[in-house]
Structure 1
Amino acid sequence: MAATLAIDGLVVERGGRRIVDGLTLTLAPGEVYALLGGNGAGKSTTLFATLGLLPRSGGSIAVAGHDPAVAPDDVRAACAYLPENVALYPAFTARENVGYFLELAGSPRDRAETEQAFAAVKLDAGAWDRPVGGFSKGMRQKTAIALALLRRTPLLLLDEPTSGLDPAATRDFHALVGAVAARGVAVLMVTHDLFGAADVAGRIGLLAGGRLAREWTAADTAPRFDLNALHDGFVAA
């Protein structure tokens, strides 16, 4: 099966400093990969390079077979990106936000499809036609994930998605990510939440100094990751 995302030897330099230094990772359809690391480790830089928003100095990236340096529009059409703070129009309702962004993407959907997506992400029906300015962060994320589902992209990029969420909302979000992956979407999540990452990711990578210092898979321990070792590695990084 062809990889949805293939990063090979990625090097990204900014301001004369090497932020990402030879990173290699792949994601298959339906796989969730959590990329951990402290501030400045290169996590968000990796996402921006994948989206074609930052140039690379070396290595290669392919998103659904497209190189962001050659075909950035094709790459962005194949990606849904969820930043730490979801950018929605506060005066628009959830339905209006989703409809507007789908029109911009050239992928309009009908009312029934939109409502099916809202139901799939468990956004309360009473919120569908309310302005998102009054939404909690968790509700805003559900709206953004519904938009991603409606765009039908093969790759979902998440940047610190559980930052600021309470434990219950974090569990709900991880369940939602698992449901998205079950539809065949590959998910790359960068996060500081190493314990939460183990709840949802099939693989976890520790990024330190722009390099993949260590990697774990769900099969490394039974039935869980070795969270103590993971925590020690994360702190040491």
Structure 2
Amino acid sequence: MTTHVPVNNTSNNDSTIAKQSNAQKNDNNSATQKAIIEVDSLSFSIKNNAILKNLNFNVGSGEIYALLGGNGAGKSTTLKTLLGFNKPTQGSVKVAGKEVSKALDFVRTKTAYLPESATLYPHLTARENVEYFLSLADINKTDEQINAAFNRVALQEGAWERPMQTYSKGMRQKTAIALAILREAPIFLLDEPTSGLDPVAIDEFNQLVRELALAGASILMVTHDVYGACQVANRIGLLRAGELVGEFDAPENGRIDTEQVHAAFAQRGA
């Protein structure tokens, strides 16, 4: 059965929702021991302007968690805090059991960040890009291992030796994920990963994300795409003006109800 925290239109109800979200967090304390990403009472402000407000959620091994919200909801700020670019005003963020602010190098070695548009060198081929970025991390991989990663992300073999400037966005995303796989990063942070992709590329990308999760990766994606989040996520957190106002769980062997999430998302311009 899908778990849903109702989202209503009054400030009193918003307060109730926040309390319910906190209650859910307490109910999941036993699961937190297994969490790979732990966000605990996280708040972040800039010049007394609250951007994130008491966020509580976690992502387990093999789980896909989608943080869903509109522009300005605080999605990218949450990712930047997980990457150590923002220092929490209150609360804490842990990755693989380590406080981000105290173990930044460790956290970044465990984390693969995929922005909306993967930043790769356009004049280099996919192989050259991958080899270059692996060398920066002092990681050595054989040609066979690189080929296997390209095959795993379904990057066409005929494109491996072509310059990136000839690639579509979907192909660039696949190359970036192949690089993350070769780095053996167990945690993926995805920022609007399917924005600008055509329907076929979105389906391919979602299937790849599911396969990574099945292999044990922890995946946190932020998005404003209700349909895409429902198609791929095990859990969805609805973010509104920096607050987590609801969560949705996928039923066993099923997907989260798109209409239910859309109705909640649409309220008050979430």
TM tier, shorter chain?
Answer: over 0.9
Counterpart Cα distance in 1 of 2:60 and 2:117 = 27
- CA deviation map 1:134-161 (0-9, x unaligned): 1000000000000011111111000000
Equivalent residue in structure 1 for 2:177, among 142, 145, 148: 145
**SS of the residue aligned with 2:98?**
coil
2:130 matched to which residue of 1? 98
Aligned residues: CA RMSD: 1.3
What are the equivalent positions in structure 2 for 1:1-237 lying under 5 Å apart? 2-219=34-251, 223-236=254-267, 237=270
Identity of aligned residues (%): 50
Shift in Å, 1:234: 0.9
Counterpart Cα distance in 1 of 2:79 and 2:259 = 27
Counterpart Cα distance in 1 of 2:75 and 2:94 = 17
TM-score by length of 2: 0.85
Counterpart Cα distance in 2 of 1:27 and 1:114 = 28
**SS of the residue aligned with 1:188?**
strand
Q: Which amino acid aligns with 2:178?
A: A
**SS of the residue aligned with 2:204?**
helix
Counterpart Cα distance in 1 of 2:62 and 2:139 = 22
Q: Which amino acid aligns with 2:238?
A: L
Q: Which amino acid aligns with 1:234?
A: F
Q: Which runs of 5+ in 2 are unaligned?
A: 1-32
Q: Which amino acid aligns with 2:228?
A: G
Q: 8 Å contact 2:231–2:256 — kept in the other structure? A: no
**Range with greater deviation from structure 2 (93-102 or 106-115):** 106-115
Q: Which runs of 5+ in 1 are unaligned?
A: none
Shift in Å, 1:207: 0.3
Q: 8 Å contact 2:150–2:178 — kept in the other structure? A: yes
Q: 8 Å contact 1:41–1:209 — kept in the other structure? A: yes
Q: Which amino acid aligns with 1:228?
A: E
Shift in Å, 1:209: 1.5
Counterpart Cα distance in 1 of 2:52 and 2:146 = 38
Shift in Å, 1:179: 1.0
Counterpart Cα distance in 2 of 1:232 and 1:3 = 29
Q: Which amino acid aligns with 2:194?
A: T
- CA deviation map 1:95-130 (0-9, x unaligned): 010111111122221111111000000000011111
Q: Which amino acid aligns with 2:129?
A: N
Give the length in aligned residue pairs: 236
**SS of the residue aligned with 1:69?**
helix
Counterpart Cα distance in 2 of 1:153 and 1:20 = 27
**SS of the residue aligned with 2:172?**
helix
Q: Which amino acid aligns with 2:95?
A: V
Counterpart Cα distance in 1 of 2:48 and 2:56 = 21
TM-score by length of 1: 0.96
**SS of the residue aligned with 2:93?**
strand
**SS of the residue aligned with 2:210?**
helix
Pair 223,182 (structure 1): closer, same or farther in 2 beyond 3 Å: closer
Shift in Å, 1:228: 1.5
Counterpart Cα distance in 2 of 1:214 and 1:21 = 14
Counterpart Cα distance in 2 of 1:167 and 1:74 = 36
Counterpart Cα distance in 1 of 2:224 and 2:95 = 24
